[in-house]
Amino acid sequence: MVLISSNLLNVRHPIAYSSVRVSNECPTIFSSNFQLPTAKNNVSPITHSATPLVVEEPHQAISFLLDRSKRYTLEESKQLHSYIVKLGSSPNIYFINTLIHLYAVDGHLVDARKLFDKMSHRDVVSWTTLVDGYAKFGKMGDAKDLFDSMLERNVVSWNVMISGYGKCGDVEAARQLFDQMPERDIVSWNTLISSYVWNGFSEEAFEMFRDAIIENVLPNKVTFLSILPAVADLGCAFRGGYVHTLIFKTGIDVDGVLCSALVDMYCKCDCLEMAFQLFASNPARRNVASWNPMLAGLVRCNSFEKALDLFRTMQLQNVEPDYVTMIAILPAIANLGAVGIGKWVHSYTQRKKIRVNATLGSALVDMYSKCGCIELSLQVFTMVEHKTIELWNAMVAGLAINGQGKDAIELFYQMCVANLEIDDRSFAAVLNACSHSGLVDDGLEFFAAMKDVYKISPKIQHYGCIVDLLGRAGKLEEAKDLICNNMLIKPDTVIWKSLLGACKIHGNVKIGEFAASHLIELDPSDSSSYVLMSSIYDAAGQLNDAIMMRKMMNEAGIRKEPGFSLIESGGVVHKFFVADKSHPRSEEIYTMLDEMGSKLKSIGYVPNTKLVLFDIDEVEKEAAIYNHSEKLAIAFGLIDSVNGAPLHIVKNIRMCSDCHDFMKLVSDIYNREIVIRDQRRFHHFRSGKCSCMDYW
């Protein structure tokens, strides 16, 4: 989001001289007593880049100077000025105003002020030019003093001050000036709207936009480019449609830039269909900037597979991804666990020499971590030179979800030693590390330090980590007491589900019933509460209660969320459902599955058919257990990858205990590392063991 300065919207150069034209026929730019020297004796070479700039006549100096605002350095401008002074000429107000402008935009405000103070005559442009320079560099005290001293002000002067206050975050002062203006133009409205948006006051920005319409101010393209980010931030599709309609009514050409802004707005308002329509009609489809908002919008709406498809289409149409594209697509790759594509993206940044700064580094660390490649995450983290708190947090979180709790804690301590500003996300990451690794005492100490030492109020995710931590340790009464008596915010479904999951692991029916009742009350349509409680009853031998729970679920019309598993191979993400036979290599997959089953049974594996809730015979139950989506994905991985290659799988729901036992044995028999990310956590299966230590 770019704050639009009023003088940038003014086409006059540099502040208000649209009528000034300088050429060989216009020596009047200097005072009347100026005598033209002969070209032969007064040639002044001005060095510019590789070629010298030769000034043969003083009136050429002003021509070059005006042009310098785009092409020449400040030092060259000084040489031009010095040359004119040496000739004894007295450049008039147009020349001095232009030179003040060039000093000011390069930050040489002291020099600009000296020139201003030496002027025998000043006009409104002289004053406004210097005010603009002060405002651009945040010196609003000096800008205000100068502004208050002006005997004559024009609308540009006011706009410059409003823009300056907006950039400095003082929107109240900007609004006060706006209200005091004797007259306003569209730039005035645009500048204040932009100031509100820049400082996060989206609602106020929209109110200002609406006031402009009510006062019959005709909005222009800049107005719409200013207000669309505010509508996107508010996520209000109705307001977005209103703005879109006004664009058509005003007859403004929807070019590539405006179209991309509309796409971004509709995506952030969850109107993907409309966003796609606009994207398809974008006249700048060859421009990567038109693709990035659509990619980011799909990722934001969790349409990760569509985002990946669009990313491929982009390359097929010879549109080269840029830095923004990388930031947009990496979360999609992370969520799909498509590590092969992620490695390609990382390699692409290296080939194209895209600098991996802290922001891109954080995205890469997050991607590799969520794909279970923690070593690659650490390599990226080490490589980034200027590390931000976001990058440190991403690395601690990556170690946490991959079960490397002690390493995560060590890195957290390094953050503290580095005097970084530890925030709530830092503590969420380190508490998650303690939770995943069963480090109860460490977790409780960090939680206390967060509140008492760092004065950070716990959020729902922090409480969730502590509930999970206590539940893992079997301290279910303490977890229940925390939820009921010590949480400063209302517990959500994640909190109660964490407690219910712990009750399933430890076989606590009483607290399980307590948690399930609250979970069902908060979200009656969530199947997991019924399924988990039914499993707790089954394990406790309370078969009638288990049947009753399943009956309640069926009568309420609640269906268990369909489980699916994703595995990436050859740049393609393959998706499997339970008993899925839609894959082109389905016959080979089921042949491999039978082979796996035979090998596992030969060493004592027995399918846990108690997990099947349907009233069917034992043979059918065993078949149902064998056909779980992650087993199909593993079978495909074994036939489609080279021997010894690790297999990475993403599952949308919690992995059942039978699949967990199955994966441990497969990792041992087939000598493969298997990494599965389910709804709860990461599982790294190696040599018959899992990193979660059988708690998930």
- Please provide the size of the chain in residues: 696
How far apart, in whole angstroms, are the C-alpha atoms of residue 150 and residue 146?
Answer: 7
- Tell me how many helices (H) and strands (E) the chain has: 35, 8
682-686 sheet: strands from edge to edge = 572-577, 564-569, 647-651, 674-677, 682-686, 689-690
Q: Are strands 572-577 and 674-677 parallel, antiparallel or unpaired?
A: unpaired
Task: Give domain status of residue 190, yes or no.
Answer: yes
Task: Give domain status of residue 625, yes or no.
Answer: yes
Q: Report residue 248 CA to chain centroid gap.
A: 30
Task: Give domain status of residue 437, yes or no.
Answer: no
| 168 and 19 co-located in one domain | yes
How far apart, in whole angstroms, are the C-alpha atoms of residue 377 and residue 37?
Answer: 68
Q: How many domains does the structure of the chain reveal?
A: 3
Burial class (CB in 10 A: 0-12, 13-18, 19+), 476: buried
| 582 and 544 co-located in one domain | no
In one letter, which amino acid is 336?
A: L
Q: Report residue 146 CA to chain centroid gap.
A: 40
What tokens appear for 344 in the block? 């390609």
CB-CB neighbours of 521 under 10 Å: 11
Give the residue from 560, 594, 618 where a domain finishes: 560
How far apart, in whole angstroms, are the C-alpha atoms of residue 263 and residue 272?
Answer: 9
The DSSP symbol for 484 reads I
Per-residue model confidence (pLDDT) at position 618: 52
| 575 and 543 co-located in one domain | no
| 494 and 548 co-located in one domain | yes
| 11 and 116 co-located in one domain | yes
Three-state secondary structure call for residue 72: coil
The residues of the chain scoring below 70 in pLDDT are 1-92, 609-623, 696
Task: Give domain status of residue 640, yes or no.
Answer: yes
Task: Give domain status of residue 526, yes or no.
Answer: yes
| 128 and 188 co-located in one domain | yes
Cβ-contact 126, 100 below 8 angstroms: yes
In the block, tokens 């002006």 appear at: 150
How far apart, in whole angstroms, are the C-alpha atoms of residue 674 and residue 667?
Answer: 6
Give the residue from 533, 560, 587 where a domain finishes: 560
| 9 and 95 co-located in one domain | yes
| 102 and 127 co-located in one domain | yes
The domain that contains 38 carries what CATH number?
Answer: 1.25.40
CB-CB neighbours of 105 under 10 Å: 18
In one letter, which amino acid is 210?
A: R
What tokens appear for 517 in the block? 């009742």
354: left (phi over 0), alpha (psi -120 to 50) or beta: beta
Task: Give domain status of residue 599, yes or no.
Answer: yes
Cβ-contact 284, 259 below 8 angstroms: yes
Cβ-contact 503, 536 below 8 angstroms: yes
Cβ-contact 43, 126 below 8 angstroms: no
| 464 and 606 co-located in one domain | no
In the block, tokens 């409003």 appear at: 162
Give the residue from 506, 537, 560 where a domain finishes: 560
| 5 and 150 co-located in one domain | yes
| 572 and 528 co-located in one domain | no
Sign of CA dihedral 110, 115, 118, 119: negative
Task: Give domain status of residue 398, yes or no.
Answer: no
How far apart, in whole angstroms, are the C-alpha atoms of residue 334 and residue 372?
Answer: 10
How far apart, in whole angstroms, are the C-alpha atoms of residue 675 and residue 696?
Answer: 14
Per-residue model confidence (pLDDT) at position 145: 87
Is the peptide bond preceding residue 58 cis, with omega within 30 degrees of 0? Answer: no
Contacts of 597 (CB under 8 A, 6+ apart): 605, 626
Cβ-contact 340, 571 below 8 angstroms: yes
| 538 and 587 co-located in one domain | no
Task: Give domain status of residue 579, yes or no.
Answer: yes
The DSSP symbol for 486 reads I
Domain limits for position 572: 564-690
